[in-house]
Structures are given as structure tokens and as C-alpha cells.
Structure 1
Amino acid sequence: MVIYDAVIGLGAFISFIGTGYLIEFTGFIYPFAISGGIFFFFTILVAITLDDSLVHRETTSRIQVSVFLGQIFSLCTKVENISRGVSYILIYLLIFFIYNMPSSGSITTIFTLSSPFCWSSEHIGWFSAVSSIVVFVGGTAILKILQTCFKNIRDELVVIFGLLSSVASYIIFGLSTTDHMIYESAGVGILKILPVPLIKAILSRAVHPDKQGALFSNIYLLDTVCTIFGSTLFNNIYHHTVTLHKGFVFFVMAGFPFIALVMMIFVTCKTYSTRDPVELDLDNPQIQNSDSPS
């Protein structure tokens, strides 16, 4: 999961640099046109090349939309699809939602475009590209080091480190008055990408292999909701507080990973203090111990 996100970081590195120069020399039309063309190309590519790896016992000539939607939300409606209680899945989805809210929107771009920074589009492009490499690739390397040096380290503990890194990064960004402080905030936030793939991994282990698609449908649905509400919420907060303190919105944004941190610590302590190991029989996706705690 983390390597997958690191590859996304490499793609972001290239796109941020290219977009910065395209905006400077051609305006906004060409970057959007190129992005649309890329999405169209991959839509065709997926439609032509991607096959369903799951062998179906029964085939039907027509897909029923109601059945399809039911499969997406089957994690909450059919407990036999998960090895932990429904509340376990929901609490991690909620942590994911809360943590992901501040990552949406363009507040950092608006913040650096205005005084006292007055960055150009190339400067913003290079900063976004380098910070993506630092976060995605650097975070992946640090995770590998932690797993090598501490072989029994749990994903939940690394998630907590990542949440702390995110809180500190937003606070420093909100206090920034010079370019160097913004660079420092990017360095402090080197672990902030880790909670996203690790929460996905934690949830993936709790779901039957045949229901991984339903799980990630829920995750990316939440991600889309975060993008919509996050952009609206934080843009409005910035608009109404910019005269009070320009970086105030980042303090509000820091509150979201802090809430997720408190929830994560609580869930982790509860899980490992009352843990009763439960495993799924891959040939028969039924809960092996119905009395296990959720």
C-alpha cells in the first residue's frame, strides 16, 4: 500500500513541475486539457485491458445496479464478510475521513501566492513536487527503516507517528512568515502520508479477500467526499479569518489529524487490551469466533 502511494508521489512530482511551467507560459487551458486527455486515455486503456481476476460461479448477461450498490456497502450489511466487528471497520473509516479532510483543497497555493511570500507558479510547482517526493518517497523509506530496525512494530503505532507529523506540519505552516519555515513544515510532515496507506492495509486485513473491491470502493467514496467538503470548508474558513491571522486556517486543519490521533490511540489501546485473535478461513468466509470483540 505504501509503495503504491510512493508511485503516486513520483507522478505528482512530474505533474507539479510541468503544470507550474505550463501555467506560466500558456495559462490554465493547456494543463486542464492535458489532464482531461490523460484521464480519457486511461479510461479507454482500463476498458480494453483490465479483466476481472475473480472467477464467477454464475454468470449473468446483465449487471443489476441494485446488486452492484449492495455489494459496495456489503461490509456493513453482511458481517460474514469481515473478521472483526462492523464497528471496527466504521471507526477506521471515520479516522480515514477525518484525517483526509485537510488534505483537500488549494489553501497552501493561495497562502503562498499572497504576501509576504508572493511565489510564482514555477516556485509553487517546484515546492509541491519536492514536498511530494519528501512525503511519498521519504515516508516510504522511513517506514522500511522502522520495519527493519523494529521487526515487531505495528502499523497502528506508525499511523500514530504519521498523525503527529501531520499535526506538527500544519501548525508550522500556519506560523510561517518566511520561505524557510514553509520548507521546514514540509520536512516535519515527512510521515504524514503513512496513515492513509496503513489504514487501508489495516482495513484490508479485516476484510475477506473477495470483498477487497467493496472495501476500496468505500474508501475512495470517502476520499471524494473529503475533496468536496474539505475544499469548501477550508476555503471559507480562510476567507473569513485571513484578516484575523493569515495562517489560522492551518491551525483548524491541524485539529483534524489531532482528533484522528486521539481516536487512533483509543482504538489501539482498546484493541490490544482486549484482543482475541480471529482468523478467516479463506475457503469459507465466515467468522470463526462470533463472540470476538468488535
Structure 2
Amino acid sequence: MDSGQDNDDHVHRQPLLTEENDRGSADESEDCRPSEDSSPRSRSRALSRSWSAGGQGSDSRQNSHDTSPSHDSTTDVKKHLISSLNLDYHRNGHPGMNVSFHDTRPSQTLAPSDDNGKMEVKEAERQRLKRRLMASSFVTLVCYITGYLSLVPIQAQYLYQRFAQDYFNLTNVTEKQVPCAENSNDSLQEILNQIQADTSRQTLYMDYAQYAPAIFVALLLGSYTDYLGRRFMVFMPCFGAFLKSVVFLLVIYLELDVNYLYIAFAADGVCGSIYALTLGLTAAVADITTTSKERALTFALLEGSLAIAGSVSQIGAGFLIDAVGYVAPAVVVAVLLFLATVSVVLFMPETLHRPAEIVFGFYILDGTVRQRCLFLCGLMAYFFVILVSLGKLSVETLYELNTPFCWDSVQIGLFGGLKMLVQVTGSVAAVKVLQACMRIEFIGLLGLVSGMASFMVEAFAFSDWMMYLVPVTGIISMLVGPITRTLMSRMAPSNSQGALFASMSAIETVCHLASTTMYNTVYMATLDVFSGAVFLLMASFCFINFILIVVFMVVSRDVVYYESVVEVETPVEPPEENERTPLLSSHTSAEARSRGWTKHSSSLEIRDGEAQRQSAF
């Protein structure tokens, strides 16, 4: 036996598995087995040598009864496994790992070295599937979001004009007939405030009809996307939005009672609304991406399609309303949503089939106390992200229609399109550039600061030029959503991704319902005093989210993530329990699990939080 210094040098200079070690005797495994009082350093040296010796002993026993070439195959597998591990030392002298990382999603195993051709084929298939999914998702999102977001200004302005008919005795609905002036008399201003309050109240009730059933759809059907398929979860909201647009068109064209719009909103909610679409697409992206870095960029690129869809919808709706009224924009919206539905049916591929999961179970049942706290903290952060992102469009439209701005449909459309284009484009570019030099948590914090600044400017704006500063100050505010989804996704194992995104979809639905109620109530209550108070409330939510992400960063230090996985598909039966190497012996198994080592019957899973963070970001 060499001295301690020689053994230490041997560990760092020599490969863990060599041809000479492979010819060693099985008895050497017993000599190298660490004792209970051995130091972590000596145990690490013993483990590395006994793994090689134990593997040879297993091969020798097999060859004594069988002369088949399985020995060479087993040796190749062990070489491939052990050569991917390089034992090193870090904090407090405990053995750590620098791992050659291979994510097991979506391919479930890492083949031995002689199966590199099969791995290349699988990777090529994954890339083709990813390209097809991205192309079909882009078309679907552009059509869906353009139509869906176009309904928001159409709805707000149309209801505003319909209620104005009762106060000004208008014969038909045209937006130029409603008076608005900055220096209007008190009686006229009181009437305008009442019209705004009625519009806000009607919008609130219709959102109840839409998002209350959408919550149950997200909870009940979310995890079953693994049975029904990702494509089904994308098809349902597209079809529901198409039905909503048809009913909306009939109400506008036939000048039916506005209460018929409850049918349109309820149909959209029963089909899951936009949150089921988000669930299906994010789960599909998680299926075909392999690292947090790739996943964050893919999420950002998909949301980048909002820059195109949002800008086109806001600007196009504004010009169409000003030129030809409300019927033509409603027809265009119905056509776009029909195209989105057809695109899903014809072009979108199915990405994965897995058993159904419990939607919220792993937040409170799985993992350590620290991991559960991280999940809940991340879920709260995502709650506030969605709370400030959704439910504000209708209030913002009313804010722009009111004094001191008195904008028409063209100005509202231009501002909304410019804001969407600047913020989404800036956020996608920021994710691409900043993730090369900082952790994604810091990128999220920058986005929250940008969001707080934009809401503050919007709250105190008193002229048009100040309103156009809002998208400038909030240029990277929309990256917080993709960042938060990535933080949550990388903490969940592959078999919990569907449940994770189902719970996040349910959170989105609850947030939209809560934010619509909150913002419309605050806007109606403060309309006569300070109409910008609702935007100060949004800024305060950004500040709370800032604190939550800071807490998340502090608690998540050295956390184990689920992307650092190496799995080897062995061609022979695993050894019996009493024949296992010291790596799996009873006195080291607890320490191995505490360090992130988990042994399965046919695979070795290695996880290391610190190395994962260095490899991903």
C-alpha cells in the first residue's frame, strides 16, 4: 500500500480506471474499503480505487462461468461512467464533484461510448422536433396573441361608447362622439367619470365569468396534459378564443345587449383561456430543451413573439376602429383566432407522453424543508410577476381615455404597440446578453427595477411625452416572467415538469382574476382623487417581488438542481446487495445521498448544485 502522499498524488495524476487497474484482483476491493473512522479524503481515495477493483471482480466472476464477450462490454460501460467523474476536493475537506453534465431530458439514457452514433441520431431528432415546435408555436402565438390582445382595446372602447349612449343620447356607437376635454366643466367631468366607472365595473364582471372557470380547468386538466398531450392543451384555448370572438362579433354587428358578452367570456374560460395555452407551450418547451440556459432563452424567444403580435394588435386595432368602426376589427380577430386553431391541428407536433402528476403535491410533499421553501418562495414570486403583468390593460385604456390625455383609438393603439415592441424586444435582448456575465436571479432583479420605474412614471404622468417615457424606463421589465419560470423549472425533476407548469398556469388564472378585481376597484375608488394610484400599487408589487427573489437567492445557495444527471444503461445485471462496492456500502450511503449521490439499480445519478450553477450560468 502506498503512503498517504503517494496515494494523494495518484488520485490527481492517474485516470480513475486504467487497463492495469482493470486487471487487479477482487481482493483489493476489501483492502481499500474505508473504515468508520477514516477521513473523507482517505475514503475518497479508497472509493475511487475500489470502484475499479470491484468492477473487475464482478467481471471475473462472470467470466468464470461464461466466456461470452460481455466482459469487454461491461468494462467499456464502466470506463465511460467513471471517466466522466473527476474526484476533487472542496469545502471542509468533503469530496465534491466536477461532472461532465448530460441532461436526461428528453432522451432518457446516456448510451455507452460505442453508441455515440445512436446518441447523435437522438440529438438530431430532438433538434428537428425543436425546430418544428418553435415554428408552429411562433405561428400559433402570433395569430392567437394578435387576435386576443386586439380584443382588449376593442372591448374597453366599445363598452365605453355603449355606456356613453345612455348619458349623451347618442344614436350609434362611434368613438368621436364622446366629448373629452382637459378643461371640461365639473358636470361634464362627473359624467365622464361615471361612464368610466360603469365600463370598469362591466369589465370586472365579465372577467369573473371568464377566469373563474379557467382556474378549475388549469387545476383539473393541467397535469393530465401528459395523457391528453401538449397539443390538446394548446388547441383548447385557441378554440375557446375563437368562440369568444364570434360572439363578440355578433354583439357588435347586431348591437345586442352587452350582457350577451358573458357567454363569450365564459366560453373562453371553460376552454382554459390564455393560461392553458401558456401551460401547453411551456411544458412542450421543457420537453425539448436540455439546460436551464437553453430553456430560459427559448422562453424569452417565445415571449419575443409578443413583440410582433402585441405591436400589430394594438396599432392595427386602433387604426381600424378609427377608420371603419368596431365591426371590421372584430372580423379580423375572428379570422386570426381561427388560423391559430387550424395551425395547432395541422402543424404542432406532440412532444412527450408521461404519467399524470399531482399538480401541487411536490410543493408540500417532496424534497427537504429547504427545497419546499424554495418552491413556495418561487411560486410567490411568480404570483407577483403575473399580478403586475395581467389585468392592467383595461384599466390602462380607461386611464388614457380620461383627462388629461383624452387619447383616441389611434393614439391608444400606437402607444400600446410601441410599448409592447420596446419592452419585449429589450427583454429578449437582455436575457441573451446578460446571462453570459451574471446569474439569472440578478437579471430578474434588474427587470423588477425597470418595472418599478415604468409604473412610477405612468402614475405621475401629466402629458403625452411623459407617457412615452413608460416603455423606455420599462425596457427590460418583461424578462421577469421567463426568468421566474426558468428558476422554478430547474428545481423540479423531469417527471414533475408537467405538474409544475400546471400549477403555474393555475396561478396565472388566479392572478388575472385577482388583479382585474383589485385594479378596477382601486381605479374606481381613486378616480376623482388620483387616477394614477393604481400604478403605484403595481410598483409596490414589484418591490415585494424584488424582496422575494433576494430571499430565494440567499436560501438557494448550494441547492441541488435536477439537470446534472449522468445515467448509464448497463448491459448486465447489477451486483447483489452484499457484493456492492464501498460507494454503495451502508456506512457511506447516507453521506453519498447528502452530497447529492443517488444510486439506482441500473443507473447512477450524480447531482451537484454548485457545479450545475457554474455549467448553466
TM-score bracket, shorter-length normalisation = 0.7 to 0.9
Matched, 1:170 2:458: no
Structure 1 pair 278–25 and aligned structure 2 pair: CA distance change class (3 A): closer
Q: For residues 32 and 282 of structure 1, what CA distance do their matches in structure 2 show?
A: 53
Matched, 1:207 2:505: no
Give the alignment's TM-score, normalised by structure 1: 0.82
Q: For residues 348 and 522 of structure 2, what CA distance do their matches in structure 1 show?
A: 42
Counterpart position of 1:92: 378
Aligned with 1:114 (options 402, 409, 430)? 402
Q: Which has the larger radius of gyration?
A: 2
- Cα contact 2:418–2:471 (8 A) shared by 1: no
| Equivalent AA in structure 2 for residue 157 of structure 1 | F
**What are the equivalent positions in structure 2 for 1:1-294 lying under 5 Å apart?**
1-54=299-352, 68=356, 70-76=357-363, 79=366, 85-105=371-391, 106-148=394-436, 150=437, 153-272=438-557, 275-279=558-562, 281=565, 289=593
Q: For residues 214 and 49 of structure 1, what CA distance do their matches in structure 2 show?
A: 25
Q: For residues 100 and 76 of structure 1, what CA distance do their matches in structure 2 show?
A: 19
Aligned residues: 271
- Cα contact 1:134–1:190 (8 A) shared by 2: yes
Counterpart position of 1:64: none
- Cα contact 1:13–1:129 (8 A) shared by 2: yes
Report the alpha carbon displacement of residue 249 of structure 1 after superposing the two structures with TM: 1.2
Counterpart of 1:72 in 2: which secondary structure? coil
Counterpart of 2:351 in 1: which secondary structure? coil
- Cα contact 2:385–2:542 (8 A) shared by 1: yes
Structure 1 residues 60-104: Cα deviation after superposition (integer angstroms, max 9, x where no partner): xxxxxxx85x54345436627x9x823322211211111221222
Structure 1 residues 231-267: Cα deviation after superposition (integer angstroms, max 9, x where no partner): 1210110100111112111111111111111111122
Q: For residues 431 and 444 of structure 2, what CA distance do their matches in structure 1 show?
A: 10
Report the alpha carbon displacement of residue 52 of structure 1 after superposing the two structures with TM: 3.0
Structure 1 pair 98–208 and aligned structure 2 pair: CA distance change class (3 A): same
Structure 1 pair 291–78 and aligned structure 2 pair: CA distance change class (3 A): farther
Q: For residues 375 and 419 of structure 2, what CA distance do their matches in structure 1 show?
A: 31
Structure 1 pair 37–203 and aligned structure 2 pair: CA distance change class (3 A): same
Q: For residues 213 and 276 of structure 1, what CA distance do their matches in structure 2 show?
A: 22
| Equivalent AA in structure 1 for residue 333 of structure 2 | S
Greater relative contact order (Cα < 8 A, sep 6+): 1
Q: For residues 509 and 464 of structure 2, what CA distance do their matches in structure 1 show?
A: 31
Q: For residues 390 and 562 of structure 2, what CA distance do their matches in structure 1 show?
A: 36
Structure 1 pair 23–233 and aligned structure 2 pair: CA distance change class (3 A): same
| Equivalent AA in structure 1 for residue 319 of structure 2 | Y
Counterpart position of 1:63: none
Structure 1 pair 180–75 and aligned structure 2 pair: CA distance change class (3 A): same
Report the alpha carbon displacement of residue 214 of structure 1 after superposing the two structures with TM: 2.5
Report the alpha carbon displacement of residue 176 of structure 1 after superposing the two structures with TM: 0.5
Q: For residues 163 and 119 of structure 1, what CA distance do their matches in structure 2 show?
A: 28
Structure 1 pair 140–48 and aligned structure 2 pair: CA distance change class (3 A): closer
Report the alpha carbon displacement of residue 46 of structure 1 after superposing the two structures with TM: 2.2
Give me the CA root mean square deviation: 2.7
Structure 1 pair 130–267 and aligned structure 2 pair: CA distance change class (3 A): same
- Cα contact 1:139–1:191 (8 A) shared by 2: yes
Unaligned 5+ segments in structure 2 are 1-298, 569-591, 597-617
Unaligned 5+ segments in structure 1 are 57-66
Structure 1 residues 206-228: Cα deviation after superposition (integer angstroms, max 9, x where no partner): 12234333322222222222222
- Cα contact 2:311–2:421 (8 A) shared by 1: yes
